[in-house]
Amino acid sequence: MRASFDSRLLDGLLPVATDDVRAAVQAWLAYMAHEQGRAEKTLEAYARDLRQLLDWLARELERTPALCDLAGLDARGFRAFMTARRRTGCASRSLARTMSGLRAFFRWLDTEDVASSRAILQVVLPKVPHGIPKPLTVEKAKAVVEAGARAELDWIAARDAAVLLLLYGSGLRISEALAVTPGEAPTAGREVLRVTGKGGKERLVPVLPVTQAAVTRYIALCPFTLAPDGPLFRGAKGGRLSPRIVQLLIERLRTGLGLPDTATPHALRHSFATHLLSAGADLRQIQELLGHASLSTTQVYTEVDRDRLLAVYEKAHPRAAGQ
């Protein structure tokens, strides 16, 4: 399944651009969508990155920059752009992502003979602090999903319980959980869910009986008509449930359950992976369940679970006990 590209993205994110710049950006975003399978949110981020560069260059030139102005940027110019972004409070991680996207754009310009400029490749990307996932403890994760299931006849509480169980019980991203349709809903007896993740990559994830029961209960209580190909999870007024509502739910639970500030919907996905690893799951299996393209992405969870790995080492290695 390939990502779609809506050219209207450019209307909001590149409102002022010369025709040659607009044409080049549109062609590149279409390429990233159809050939590279980039998600819509990623395409929006790419367009914003280019908007930031064009805005900065317009201020420097005191006119709307054309494609030849982009091609004429040297390494010093890109460093000046990075400095300007720093002054606006852009963190290293965000700036590194921006520069990575711009590199992809300029590589494409060169490959397609649209314009030639490799100066950005001479610029060293900002160093990003090494971070590791911050999962909840098993007890806290269970408390989160149980908190949403207390009101048996409240359809919103039933909805919240079903969403949280998909995040923790199946390791879904919040966007993946909210993209589930009634036609594919993991109701009672449906133990596997087909998920389309980043880059249009499909995977199959198991669904626990408790999650199946929660989804079934939510569907029974939901006051809105659920079309087979429409959104499964609805907001209070019947529209598609917003990720922000789920984020606010977790924020409320932080106070009530004494959760750390790092508790977010995505932390439940981290918890899913970390708890599986602690229970002895194979890293390759976790990679498949999470939909990671590279094992190196999944390996970060081994840093979270160092204590278990050390215990296995001390138990298994013949010289670990000083024998």
Residue 12 phi/psi, 5° resolution? -90, -30
Integer Cα distance of 270 and 70 in angstroms = 40
Active site residues: 173, 198, 266, 269, 292, 301
Contacts of 219 (CB under 8 A, 6+ apart): 182, 185, 187, 226, 232
User: Which residue do the tokens 């890293």 mark?
Assistant: 283
Q: Are 77 and 66 in contact (CB under 8 A)?
A: no
296 closest CA partner among 170, 130, 123? 130
User: Which residue do the tokens 């710049």 mark?
Assistant: 21
Pairing of strands 192-196, 202-206: antiparallel
